[in-house]
Structure 1
């Protein structure tokens, strides 16, 4: 059950999964032009809260098929792919925020582990402002194995970390195929995943807080990669 104006709107625009039924309040139906060409059941906000299971529905929800996960191998077949991989990031809000940035930055896709990771839930779809409907997301059994496959396909692997071994975020040139790996908040990258990286990169922290939120760090790193790739093109 998708909910939120952007999440529902982008699911309809992307057409990657069927949307079977839409509910909205009368005021939302009047204010959202994209709804007016659709068959919509008009209900009150309390009924939307019941249907969506949350009051964060923004006046609209929709019943859709389950999320269509992509094949991670397909990402590696792209020319000079830009892939974001999440190492056990378990907060759906962070998953959604990272997916939104990755989609806006033109990433090829997002990779998450099958276990101990947030999934593309309705909450993640809303947090992404519907970006998950356009950005392919793949689940893999073992993230380190996927990184090995990415290396074999000619990609460079960069892991975000604040360790002494990390180089400044502006040091790599980010040309060619890239996988950016973000670790879970608090624990960071697992040792085997960190060992799979060609380099660890660190953002400068000039304040008193010791780390950024993982979605904020992903945004900064992704756009540095985009800047580097644009400059070298």
Structure 2
């Protein structure tokens, strides 16, 4: 016979048969397991939040999660007993605080850091200075095996006195958290800054006998921002505002440079600076822009005694065209020698001091 019929032990029947796992047919088939329960309703999951006594293995998982969360500086992924609220996932009402990490991006693209992500300030001197300036911090990272000096001791002692979490991590872990930046074994995690709504900033300023605000037009150096806030607090300004884009924000560096003034001086971020200045003008403010080629001398600024907004330009190009056109007047700072321009924060300090001097003569 042709073909495989002459082979021994050949299969004479079809391979097809009943599919496995059905458990029968029609009403005798196996029933489904139903919907998947959320984590806070699974007694074997670390996120379980029921009122029943935890199984030993679940309790061990939750304890392990608490330790890991403390090391990483975030909220543990554990629900509150009896609430069925995990505060971190499905149905949760809270948000965990992410730890700053480096994000891998495609070549040619900039890394996008979430606006609500905390920042890690590194270096022994910067960390100590930030703690001295009462920068609101949530955690102090100390690398294992570092050389202890006066700065490390002060940072640990100050953090302990203020109930700031002190986390001892490996050097490799601190390298990962800082993105490879030289950290000298210390890192201070600060929460995202809470900006004041611009409308509230205007309303608060108008409640004072002599309203005074400072606007920043494209100031990109956070140290200049911190220095301006410090000067604004020193000379009686009620707040500072600047654009969200192409401008420095309230980072840990700005906090440190302000020497604690940022804690008592409201700061607002606005979408459009020109629109915000026009809104201030409608409320009765005189908008004055600092310009090296301004037509009015600072010493002749009669409007300094009334509601005033001082606009400080960027470090390089000064006031932008639209902002300069929106200002009621442009003011120049007289200088005895031929200097090209003053630093943005220095120019703001000089102007604020002159405004404070003029107002003190009336008071």
Aligned-partner Cα distance in 2 for 1:167–1:82: 19
What's 2:200 paired with? 74
Corresponding residue pairs, total: 224
Which structure: larger Rg?
2
Structure 1 stretch displaced more, 34-43 or 134-143: 34-43
* 1:31-50 equivalences in 2 (<5 Å): 31=154, 34-37=158-161, 38-39=163-164, 41=166, 50=175
State yes or no: 1:11 paired with 2:135: yes
Render the CA deviation track for 1:159-212: whole Å, top value 9, x for unaligned: 10111x421112123123210001112311112211221211111122232111
Among residues 305, 311, 333, which one is paired with 1:181 in the alignment?
A: 311
2:138 is paired with a residue of what secondary structure?
strand
Among residues 114, 128, 131, which one is paired with 2:261 in the alignment?
A: 131
Structure 1 stretch displaced more, 126-135 or 177-186: 126-135
Among residues 77, 102, 109, which one is paired with 2:232 in the alignment?
A: 102
Aligned-partner Cα distance in 2 for 1:143–1:74: 16
Q: Which one has more relative contact order, counting CA pairs under 8 Å at least 6 apart?
A: 1
What's 2:333 paired with? 203
Deviation, structure 1 residue 49: 7.6
1:170 is paired with a residue of what secondary structure?
helix
Query: What is the RMSD computed on CA atoms of the aligned residues?
Result: 2.8
Aligned-partner Cα distance in 2 for 1:47–1:100: 36
Deviation, structure 1 residue 42: 7.2
CA contact (8 A) 1:8 1:60 kept: no
Among residues 122, 136, 147, which one is paired with 2:277 in the alignment?
A: 147
Deviation, structure 1 residue 149: 0.7
What's 1:20 paired with? 138
State yes or no: 1:170 paired with 2:299: yes
Aligned-partner Cα distance in 2 for 1:89–1:103: 18
CA contact (8 A) 1:182 1:188 kept: yes
1:77 is paired with a residue of what secondary structure?
helix
Aligned-partner Cα distance in 2 for 1:205–1:232: 26
Aligned-partner Cα distance in 2 for 1:93–1:117: 12
Deviation, structure 1 residue 92: 1.8
Aligned-partner Cα distance in 2 for 1:64–1:213: 28
Alignment TM-score, normalising by the size of structure 1: 0.82
* Cα gap change, 1:206 to 1:216, in 2 (>3 Å): same
Alignment TM-score, normalising by the size of structure 2: 0.55
* Cα gap change, 1:30 to 1:116, in 2 (>3 Å): closer
Long gaps (5+) in structure 2: 1-119, 143-147
Structure 1 or 2: larger strand share? 1
